[in-house]
Amino acid sequence: MHLVRIKEERDIVDARGTAKEIAREMGFGLVDQTRISTAVSELARNIFHYAGEGEVRIEADCHPHKGIRITFTDKGPGIEDVELAMTDGWSSARSMGKGLPGAKRLADRMELESEPGNGTKVVIEKWLPE
């Protein structure tokens, strides 16, 4: 398990690089490494922009599948309307609105828990081809 604390913008790059390296070591191909690192970049950036700080936990195991599990947690303001936040093009920050729905498309599995005022937890998994 690898833990990257997100406190500064450069920590996003560290999280992205760490996830890509672990994926490479696990045997993911370049396309999947890029998918994983892109999803990590988007979700870590959300932590930085919306919560100010949080953490990214990268695990080389997502039982029952063989793959990588990455958990993003923060104690930020949370998401008022998760369903709306998962809509392509919607953004509370006037960005392109690709973060959450884009990350979901790049992963094999994604779950999101958020409570207004109590932060957000996002878990993504990418599985190795069988």
Residue-wise pLDDT for 34-53, tens only, equals 999 999 999 999 999 999 99
Whole-angstrom distance, CA of residue 52 vs CA of residue 125: 24
Mean pLDDT, range 109-113, rounded to an integer? 95
Per-residue model confidence as pLDDT tens digits over 43-82? 999 999 999 999 999 999 877 889 999 999 999 999 888 8
pLDDT confidence of residue 80: 86
DSSP structure class, residue 90: -
pLDDT at 98: 55
- Taking 80 as the threshold, does the pLDDT of residue 93 lie above it? no
- For the domain bounded by 2-127, which CATH number is listed? 3.30.565.10
pTM, full prediction: 0.91
What are the sequence ranges of the domains in the chain? 2-127
